[in-house]
Structures are given as structure tokens and as C-alpha cells.
């Protein structure tokens, strides 16, 4: 049985990709604070309750669980997905230091923790997929700790890719999903003078079809990882899913 690990499996993209990988016949370990009620009864689903923002505690719990209790000896896919935006859109200078640290602990250091647990433990990871974001590439006033954490994540995974060539690092910008996390960007309405790009994004998100469901994105990601688009990925290099899918659609149109 091939192992898949998904952080943030209780809802959103993590839940959708966990379901998809179960349907494809993998054993899926889902990590989150809330139980994914509809997955726990699946024969090959293993729920791992953990607060990944508490990195010291999580490190002890997860290394005990994966290496000693479950004796996981290889990982087919590691989805580094759990994440938080923060309370709401605000200026970096208005974010409390404790909140900033919590965001970075979850969005960055929890991922280092999991990678190190397996890489140092001699457990090969074939493919690591990171739920990355354009927020880490393009600066938009108001994206605060989220943007800083996602930019850090991108650089961290570039370094891992260089230093661990046996693992393929797919760093995928998931792009505007209809999830609880994205709601923190959409509500309350942003002041267009203070946060002009976010105000535009909030308007755009109201257009029909702008937001993608997590289930659709899980299908897209599966296709990218297992289809011809995989050749366009470079290990450790950020790419956003919307551009990737658009380039594929354009090449189909040209060919037709």
C-alpha cells in the first residue's frame, strides 16, 4: 500500500485531495485539528489529530506516530497543505507579533518539521506537493503575514529541492478557491484606498466562475502530477495552477 500524507485534511483543498487519493487506492494519513467526519470510516484513511502550529509538540507526536507506531517506510506523496491566512486583511504593521509567528509556524515551519522527520529518518518521499500562493510572489497590500509566510515557503522549498534531488517538489499556487481560508481575503470589504488590489480581487471574486471548488482543484492537481503537464514543472519552482492550466488549454486550441 502506497502512503500519502495530507496536512489540513479536514476541509478545503486538503479534504478534497485526501478523498481523491483514497479513491485512487492510496493509504491516506490526514492531519488536522478537526476530524474529517466523512473520511474516518474509510478503511485506508488514518486520522492524525494535531495542531501543526505548535511545532515542538507536533514534532514529538508525529515522529512517534509515523516512525515508531506506523513504521512508515516510504511516502508516495506528501501534501504540505495546512495553512491559515490570519484574522483579516490588514497592514503588516497592524499585525500582532504573536499572530505573525503563528501564521509562519503553520504555513512554513510545520512543513519543515514534516520534511525533516522523513528525510532525516531515512524515509524516501517521492513527491512533495506544496499548497503555495501567488500571495508569496506578488505583493498586495493587506496580505500581511500570509504573503510573508508563502514567500518564505517558496524559498525554503527551492532550497530543499536543490539539497534533496531524490524528492520532486511541486510548488503549486492553488489560485482562488472557494474555501474558509479565502473568505478571510474576501470579508469584510477592503478599503480601496488602503488595499486597492484586494478590493479589486473582492469584486472579481463575485463574478460567476471566478472561484474554483476545492474538488475541481484536487482533480486539476492530480492531472498535473500524473499527466503531460508534469513535464512543465521544475522541482522547487513555484508555478500557479491557473497559468499552467491556461497554457495547456491554449496548446490544445493551437493544435486543433
**Site for ligand NAP, rule CB under 6 A:** 8-14, 32-34, 50-53, 81-84, 106, 131, 133, 173-177, 179-182, 214
Cβ proximity to ligand NAP, 138 vs 251, nearer residue:
138
- Residue 132 or 229 with smaller CB distance to ligand NAP: 132
Strands 75-80 and 238-240: unpaired
CB of residue 218 to ligand NAP, shortest distance in Å: 10
Task: Kindly state the smallest distance separating residue 122's Cβ from ligand NAP, in Å.
Answer: 25
Q: How far apart are CA 162 and CA 145, in angstroms?
A: 26
Nearest 5 degrees, angle CA 205-CA 129-CA 235? Answer: 110
Q: Count other C-beta atoms under 10 Å from residue 179's C-beta.
A: 21
Closest to ligand NAP by CB, 34 vs 226, is 34
CB of 253 to ligand NAP, least distance (A): 26
> Alpha-carbon distance 203 to 188, whole Å?
12
The backbone torsions φ and ψ at residue 212, rounded to the nearest 5 degrees and listed phi first, read -105, 145
CB of 71 to ligand NAP, least distance (A): 23
Nearer to ligand NAP, 75 or 175 (CB): 175
**Cβ-based nearer residue to ligand NAP, 101 or 124:** 101
| Cβ atoms 153, 111 nearer than 8 A | yes
Burial classification of residue 128, based on how many CB atoms lie within 10 Å of its CB (0-12 exposed, 13-18 middle, 19 or more buried): buried
C-alpha cell at 58: 507536533
> Least distance (Å) from ligand NAP to the CB of residue 33?
3
The residue among 16 and 72 lying less far from ligand NAP, judged by its C-beta, is: 16
Contact criterion met (CB below 8 Å) for 165 and 153: no
C-alpha to C-alpha distance for 75 and 165, rounded to whole angstroms: 15
**Nearest approach, Cβ of 166 to ligand NAP (angstroms)?**
24
Strands 168-173 and 238-240, sheet pairing: parallel
Distance CA 99, CA 238 (A): 26
CB closer to ligand NAP out of 44 and 215: 215
Instruction: Cell 493551437: give the residue.
Output: 254
Rounded to a whole number of angstroms, the minimum distance from the CB of residue 255 to ligand NAP is: 30
Amino acid at each position: 500500500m502506497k502512503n500519502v500524507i495530507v496536512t489540513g485534511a479536514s476541509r478545503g483543498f486538503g479534504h478534497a485531495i485526501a478523498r481523491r487519493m483514497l479513491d485512487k487506492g492510496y493509504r491516506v494519513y490526514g492531519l488536522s485539528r478537526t476530524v474529517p467526519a466523512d473520511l474516518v470510516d474509510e478503511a485506508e484513511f488514518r486520522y492524525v489529530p494535531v495542531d501543526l502550529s505548535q511545532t515542538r509538540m507536533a514534532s514529538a507526536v508525529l515522529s512517534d506516530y509515523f516512525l515508531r507506531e506506523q513504521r512508515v517506510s516510504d511516502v508516495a506523496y506528501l501534501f504540505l497543505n495546512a495553512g491559515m491566512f490570519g484574522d483579516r486583511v490588514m497592514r503588516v504593521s497592524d499585525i500582532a507579533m504573536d499572530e505573525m509567528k503563528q501564521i509562519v509556524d503553520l504555513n512554513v515551519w510545520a512543513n519543515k518539521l514534516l520534511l525533516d522527520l522523513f528525510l532525516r529518518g531515512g524515509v524516501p518521499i517521492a513527491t512533495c506537493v506544496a499548497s503555495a500562493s501567488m500571495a508569496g510572489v506578488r505583493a498586495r497590500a493587506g496580505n500581511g503575514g500570509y504573503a510573508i509566510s508563502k514567500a518564505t515557503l517558496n524559498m525554503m522549498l527551492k532550497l530543499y529541492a536543490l539539497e534533496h534531488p531524490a524528492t520532486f517538489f511541486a510548488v503549486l499556487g492553488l489560485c482562488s478557491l472557494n474555501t474558509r481560508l479565502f473568505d478571510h481575503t474576501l470579508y469584510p470589504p477592503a478599503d480601496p484606498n488602503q488595499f486597492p488590489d484586494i478590493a479589486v480581487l473582492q469584486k472579481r471574486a463575485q463574478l460567476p466562475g471566478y472561484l474554483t471548488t476545492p474538488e475541481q482543484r484536487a482533480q486539476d492537481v492530480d492531472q498535473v502530477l500524473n499527466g503531460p503537464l508534469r513535464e512543465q514543472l521544475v522541482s522547487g519552482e513555484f508555478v500557479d495552477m491557473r497559468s499552467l492550466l491556461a497554457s495547456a488549454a491554449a496548446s490544445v486550441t493551437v493544435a486543433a
